[in-house]
Structure 1
């Protein structure tokens, strides 16, 4: 809403109410009143091309120490002040965590992970994972205070303008606390903007330069803590904070970790000296075909299959190596140059080698970084999307996107004895028409998925423009149904198994035993797909799922470690760009104002609708005494998932070692009767 519109509306309301009111008459006056509640932020000048920050000991310099470029623009503004060429906006995380403990209805929730233990063998929160428990064992002094904060970091960029505007890449760094319960964790109100990196270009290798203020604050929060008042216990304490991991897509994974995510050694888990990926001569790309038999059990029949896999390796006797520990990774990177100290020539030379690590990430400056089991997460959202697109484009034989091109068929003859035929997995024209018509006429419940009919081209018989969530829904729910009568049975079964794998991995409540089962299953599923599709189908994105069960077992449910909530948050920030000429400053002002409004809304009267009611933190619902207890616990929330979760907890207590398949059978047979037994209607007393 434009400021003039706010001024007019405020003035109109002020004239309507009694004259002894305290209401402001303009947007400017309102901002002055609320300024006392504004949390701190800093504007740090950076080199025009991101070589360094004019910060700390270098804050008085007027030129970059590396490239010699000027810090300020040649012209001053209307007030005579010099204008920086490249300002970085930094929002310290400490005061924002302090405000959580200063908010009555949130402070108590920050101890949820400690005061609400879950059943053994069940994971529904990051605190149930091995990484959290391992960190507590390594740092008992930190774990002894349950109010100390565990954080996750995400960095991602977005285009500030639409597809018809000029190219402008704006990058942000966000933090989120994991102390909160599942129904609050990862909500928009608890994702904190930490850095707005100036555009218009991707920071790429210079991302570590912009992260310096944040890393210094995280070190200080770890070593010294921050004196904080806990309103729920009415006492002061020294709040410390630790960064558990980062969350980002695969290109940003390389920018943050220092690992080369392209080429022969793109997989960050497979050891460099034992990589089995190879170059396809005709397709001119690296393939991860036949890289998964090593993950199978030693006596598995696929290990001796010399027909469907690589000719030069008829028998797979190797066993997948153990993953590198933090100390082993540190031995590889400790002597590598950091972005802050190295020259561009040194870094470029290391990166072109594509032999794994090419820099020492700034995160290694954190004292506890090498004790973490997971430092950088593989993003399930993008892996699932890329896997689905590769699969559906090949099945529908989409021009320029299918992996079954003539060059791929030439590579297939070189690599394998058995030749794949296109009619095994490629749909005919009439089959594609049936599939497209089915998707076009598909209807979903409100809020379940977007309108997929917009992604269907009935003329050219293809799918296009599918967003990440569209691919998520299609991959896990629709793919087996859509292809059941269109593909041969063996091919359909293999595709159904990979669909079920992603569905199991993305479950909100997990059993640890099932993750071990999935680790064995995914290797076999990928081998089945290798018997169907050509080697050009298997790039790094089709290989990475083999490591996802391990990350889930260690880190907990993927809902806390994927990009969906951060992508939604970035879309929210994008809508706040009011001044197209000042993208970063516009986002900064809007974000600071939203922080104030969210905090104030927590203290409004109960009958006033606010955003806080979406969090269910300040609203005391008036429940009907005649309403069954099962539904009173979840007033104002979608009750279906809550009831299903209660049933799963009920079954898990009775049968702690029940598999996922048996749990589904129990659900189909017993849920309706269980729900009927839970509901007790009370007769109204006249």
Structure 2
């Protein structure tokens, strides 16, 4: 390894935060526990911690040919946060060939990799450290696996189907089978409440039963190994002649096999062995929510079968189907949009991560019933905080405590069929984050992107695996021989700025320059603007002249580099400036408003933290970037400014509002009248504006965090790739069971026509009769 890489591989050493913040897996309980169990391994920071991910993909674009290739990749966690999940650092360890997926027999294919991992633990590998110019014995340990839910079952050995589908609750999974829907329902989340909680006795609002159960107890590793004793020598195979079927009902659990990862000497000591994939959980929940509230055919959970399930359970009588002849009337549900609300509901995005966390709360403002809106917003904020780049243990404990309340609010309004296993898994995600660290190191987003890259390597359709292997090796070689290009600033032009505007820009630079502040304070004390009786513009002009003379005198006795820069600043800018249509700064990509007009994306929103002048209260100033200019000074010094149009945030009634959920709305028709349209590029922070569905003249403002920077992390390279999606400001998440009494639940909605559907019992009876006649014939 090169000297720089060798240094980066030691990054995690001594980086564990002393406070309750988590920025990297090193801050998680799993890493700390592993260090205590194996102090000899932890004593050398050069020993590698790995994560393993695997998933199948179709290598042929636009083809109906069934084919499934399963790459197995490794990610080193020794690296800094911004490098861990980069594609250039992901290692393709093996390819499981198609055309069919490996299924539960994946352990057979993993045997060579497991043998290598055992060697890297036991016998070590002699490696040269370029940083110290010495050889050392390198060891490696696999921390966990990252997979979607079906692959979770293949690697862990616990089947994720049936009534015991939850791999965290195991044998204590609480579910029930819907008599009409024919699927398992996971809506018994009241067991996580205290024994005296009033919702435990509320039969009518939930599943028609009083809840006396307790939450599932975590299963110890000794108990898991005891359950797997009789599966020790069972090897699942794809050979059709070798049939090994596990009877789950007889066993009383969902184990299919003992995972091959238990052959690793340290595997049983891990606190977290297999990760629940937050990416696919978010996607499935988002699809269920949107499909149900918009009543999308084939995707909604509110079907005639789910209404019959309500009737069979004896709950929510106002939603029971009403039979009329050979058809049924389904009364309108409180969680379904009316035709008028569908027109107001506007959501344009293909990313379920962005929809669920950021857009859904904005889109449902003023729509649906209060309890439905409250529950969905709480669910959205749960995932927003969970997926943050920097986690706080105190917040995660709060999330773990309050997510049962949110899920129970959803149980009060949505049908039982809505609560599949994906709606149950969020109950465990906060605890996994406390053990493993931030989500972006343990989800499938970077892995899916890497799969897409591997798919692009396929050139020979007759040998797709060979194409991927050749492409991977070629890319590895090219990566070692090339360097990463820098970021461009886009199209630029040189323009002339009017003298008055140039003075405004120069004055703003002087007022916000730290080196000028002592001069500004001295001049203000001797020439106070209030006593002089002159206007502010004239006072600024006099200060510029005085400041120039003062710096010239100081420069005669001090010709340092700092004083040269100050002299260049005092002489004022040149007549011509450089104008940009886009600019990258502080981890953000800004566009001017004119450039944004022709694009589907939005990058012209800007927000600056300012002071109101009344005490110490701070106020965010919202606006849009209209022009990006680079002011040039003598000596080659340059300063970038943003000219912005600002909204009136001082008018708390007609200019800006904040609702009970903390959502900020701004009136686009009221602009702030100011003589300071400029800000320094270093002061700019990006904001996004979404049209308010309550009042189209207003917009909803959302602040963001930069994609490739971490809070308080000086090790982040400003030119590095983004390793996580854009993070919005942290919302407050407080789920309370005291604001939503049963008497407040609106079970039906007035003014909406019922849905007419066919009697499925008659239709299914006719189908069965036709099948019977065909068999007789």
TM-score, normalized by the shorter chain, greater than 0.5: yes
Quote the residue 2:444 is aligned against.
563
Residue number among 681, 690, 712 corresponding to 1:646 in the alignment: 712
**Superposition map of 1:412-451 within 5 A:** 412-419=310-317, 421=319, 422-435=332-345, 438-440=346-348
**Superposition map of 1:100-119 within 5 A:** 102-119=1-18
Residue number among 175, 183, 201 corresponding to 1:304 in the alignment: 201
CA separation of 1:644 and 1:365: change in aligned 2, threshold 3 A: closer
Quote the residue 2:56 is aligned against.
157
1:335: Cα distance to partner?
2.7
Residue segments in structure 1 that go unaligned for 5+ positions in a row: 1-101, 441-451, 453-465, 610-623, 633-637, 650-659, 666-686
1:337: Cα distance to partner?
4.1
For residues 706 and 437 of structure 2, the distance between their equivalents in structure 1, rounded to whole angstroms, comes to 23
User: Do 1:245 and 1:374's aligned partners in 2 also have CA atoms closer than 8 Å?
Assistant: yes
Larger C-alpha radius of gyration, 1 or 2? Answer: 2
Q: What do residues 174-194 of structure 1 show as CA deviations (whole Å, max 9, x unaligned)? A: 000000001111000111101
Quote the residue 1:326 is aligned against.
221
1:641: Cα distance to partner?
5.2
Quote the residue 2:184 is aligned against.
286
SS at match of 1:264: coil
TM-score (norm 2): 0.61
CA separation of 1:493 and 1:608: change in aligned 2, threshold 3 A: closer
CA separation of 1:663 and 1:477: change in aligned 2, threshold 3 A: closer
For residues 275 and 253 of structure 1, the distance between their equivalents in structure 2, rounded to whole angstroms, comes to 17
Question: How many pairs does the alignment contain?
Answer: 501
The alignment status of 1:365 with 2:263, answered yes or no, reads: yes
1:322: Cα distance to partner?
2.2
SS at match of 2:413: coil
1:165: Cα distance to partner?
3.8
SS at match of 1:424: coil
1:642: Cα distance to partner?
6.7
The alignment status of 1:349 with 2:237, answered yes or no, reads: no
The alignment status of 1:503 with 2:569, answered yes or no, reads: no
Quote the residue 2:543 is aligned against.
none
For residues 358 and 643 of structure 1, the distance between their equivalents in structure 2, rounded to whole angstroms, comes to 43
Residue number among 458, 465, 473 corresponding to 1:577 in the alignment: 458
User: Do 1:206 and 1:339's aligned partners in 2 also have CA atoms closer than 8 Å?
Assistant: no
User: Do 1:205 and 1:339's aligned partners in 2 also have CA atoms closer than 8 Å?
Assistant: no
The alignment status of 1:381 with 2:262, answered yes or no, reads: no
For residues 419 and 389 of structure 2, the distance between their equivalents in structure 1, rounded to whole angstroms, comes to 28
CA separation of 1:631 and 1:224: change in aligned 2, threshold 3 A: farther
**Superposition map of 1:213-224 within 5 A:** 213-224=112-123
For residues 341 and 639 of structure 1, the distance between their equivalents in structure 2, rounded to whole angstroms, comes to 47
Residue number among 390, 393, 396 corresponding to 2:288 in the alignment: 390
The alignment status of 1:484 with 2:484, answered yes or no, reads: no
Residue number among 475, 493, 496 corresponding to 1:594 in the alignment: 475
User: Do 1:476 and 1:502's aligned partners in 2 also have CA atoms closer than 8 Å?
Assistant: yes
For residues 389 and 508 of structure 1, the distance between their equivalents in structure 2, rounded to whole angstroms, comes to 24
1:276: Cα distance to partner?
2.2
Residue segments in structure 2 that go unaligned for 5+ positions in a row: 320-331, 489-635, 641-679, 684-703, 716-726, 733-777
SS at match of 1:596: helix
Quote the residue 1:523 is aligned against.
404
**Superposition map of 1:165-180 within 5 A:** 165-180=64-79
CA separation of 1:475 and 1:420: change in aligned 2, threshold 3 A: farther
Q: What do residues 47-76 of structure 1 show as CA deviations (whole Å, max 9, x unaligned)? A: xxxxxxxxxxxxxxxxxxxxxxxxxxxxxx
1:647: Cα distance to partner?
10
1:301: Cα distance to partner?
2.6
For residues 297 and 480 of structure 1, the distance between their equivalents in structure 2, rounded to whole angstroms, comes to 29
Q: What do residues 318-338 of structure 1 show as CA deviations (whole Å, max 9, x unaligned)? A: 221321122221221133145
1:352: Cα distance to partner?
8.0
**Superposition map of 1:203-352 within 5 A:** 203-272=102-171, 274-289=172-187, 291-311=188-208, 313-314=209-210, 316-338=211-233, 340=235, 347-350=244-247
Quote the residue 2:772 is aligned against.
none
Q: CA RMSD in A?
A: 3.0
1:430: Cα distance to partner?
2.8
1:339: Cα distance to partner?
5.4
Q: What do residues 108-154 of structure 1 show as CA deviations (whole Å, max 9, x unaligned)? A: 01111113332321101001000100111111111111111100000
User: Do 2:75 and 2:90's aligned partners in 1 also have CA atoms closer than 8 Å?
Assistant: yes
The alignment status of 1:539 with 2:605, answered yes or no, reads: no
1:345: Cα distance to partner?
5.6
**Superposition map of 1:400-419 within 5 A:** 400-419=298-317
Residue number among 123, 129, 137 corresponding to 2:22 in the alignment: 123
Q: What do residues 368-419 of structure 1 show as CA deviations (whole Å, max 9, x unaligned)? A: 1110011110000000100110111011111122111111111112224334
SS at match of 1:507: coil
User: Do 1:338 and 1:361's aligned partners in 2 also have CA atoms closer than 8 Å?
Assistant: no
User: Do 2:294 and 2:337's aligned partners in 1 also have CA atoms closer than 8 Å?
Assistant: yes
397-406 vs 360-369, greater mean Cα deviation: 397-406
Quote the residue 2:356 is aligned against.
475
For residues 182 and 705 of structure 2, the distance between their equivalents in structure 1, rounded to whole angstroms, comes to 52
User: Do 2:15 and 2:26's aligned partners in 1 also have CA atoms closer than 8 Å?
Assistant: no
For residues 170 and 377 of structure 2, the distance between their equivalents in structure 1, rounded to whole angstroms, comes to 30
1:584: Cα distance to partner?
0.2
**Superposition map of 1:70-89 within 5 A:** none
For residues 462 and 128 of structure 2, the distance between their equivalents in structure 1, rounded to whole angstroms, comes to 40
CA separation of 1:156 and 1:322: change in aligned 2, threshold 3 A: same
CA separation of 1:648 and 1:535: change in aligned 2, threshold 3 A: farther
For residues 483 and 556 of structure 1, the distance between their equivalents in structure 2, rounded to whole angstroms, comes to 32
For residues 663 and 223 of structure 1, the distance between their equivalents in structure 2, rounded to whole angstroms, comes to 44
CA separation of 1:246 and 1:661: change in aligned 2, threshold 3 A: closer
1:608: Cα distance to partner?
13
For residues 664 and 174 of structure 1, the distance between their equivalents in structure 2, rounded to whole angstroms, comes to 35
CA separation of 1:376 and 1:488: change in aligned 2, threshold 3 A: same
For residues 630 and 140 of structure 1, the distance between their equivalents in structure 2, rounded to whole angstroms, comes to 47
For residues 219 and 262 of structure 1, the distance between their equivalents in structure 2, rounded to whole angstroms, comes to 31
1:271: Cα distance to partner?
3.7
Name the structure where helix makes up a greater proportion of residues.
1
1:295: Cα distance to partner?
1.4
For residues 705 and 124 of structure 2, the distance between their equivalents in structure 1, rounded to whole angstroms, comes to 40
For residues 411 and 535 of structure 1, the distance between their equivalents in structure 2, rounded to whole angstroms, comes to 8
1:648: Cα distance to partner?
13
For residues 198 and 285 of structure 2, the distance between their equivalents in structure 1, rounded to whole angstroms, comes to 26
1:645: Cα distance to partner?
1.7
1:106: Cα distance to partner?
1.3
User: Do 2:389 and 2:710's aligned partners in 1 also have CA atoms closer than 8 Å?
Assistant: no
1:264: Cα distance to partner?
0.3
User: Do 1:326 and 1:373's aligned partners in 2 also have CA atoms closer than 8 Å?
Assistant: no
For residues 713 and 26 of structure 2, the distance between their equivalents in structure 1, rounded to whole angstroms, comes to 22
1:520: Cα distance to partner?
1.0
User: Do 1:161 and 1:167's aligned partners in 2 also have CA atoms closer than 8 Å?
Assistant: no
User: Do 2:56 and 2:71's aligned partners in 1 also have CA atoms closer than 8 Å?
Assistant: yes
CA separation of 1:517 and 1:241: change in aligned 2, threshold 3 A: same
